[in-house]
Amino acid sequence: MTIKHLLSLSFLLLLISQTAFSQELLKGKVVKISDGDTMTVLDSLNQQHRIRLHGIDSPEKGQDYYQVAKDYAGQLCFQKQVEVAILDYDHYKRAIGKVYVDGLEVNLSLLKVGLAWHFTQFDQSEEYALAEAEAKLNKMNIWSLKTVTAPWEFRKIKRQQQRLKAK
């Protein structure tokens, strides 16, 4: 391989690595907590951004611990300045990201206290898996229940019930 090819390859690898690790950073104040894994952040230009917490899924309205998860997220960051590392956007045009308040990652905190499931469909991190496993082991919050239904299963059941009702 010539030096020209090596330089081209090096440049290409550098470009790919920078793109893979680049992410948008949003700073603002949390002005609304929709539920345990969704909130609204107001930036310095008074633009509202709906944020869906990456890698977790908290109880849905109608599920045990829904209000506890919502209240916990609110205690951590409502009316506080946060930083959001935006990783993606979903089909509802919400930013998908990791939310930090005073250096604490809110996503991970919800997992650690047993108020969210690790959403492995969208995240494969060992850190999140271990946080959920420890909360389960210690029977914290949702994991203290005899039977638990993951939010994505709860939503699926609700959709099926609505389809049956519509017939």
Tell me how crowded residue 119 is: count the other CB atoms within 10 A of its CB: 21
- Is 94 in the active site? yes
Cα-based angle 59, 60, 63 (whole degrees, multiple of 5): 75
The one catalytic residue among 94, 126, 132, 153: 94
Burial of 34 (0-12, 13-18, 19+ CB in 10 A): middle
The one catalytic residue among 52, 153, 155, 163: 52
Could you give phi then psi for residue 47, rounded to 5 degrees?
A: -95, 135
The one catalytic residue among 24, 60, 153, 159: 60
- Is 83 in the active site? no
Cα-based angle 32, 33, 35 (whole degrees, multiple of 5): 150
Which residues carry out catalysis? 52, 60, 94
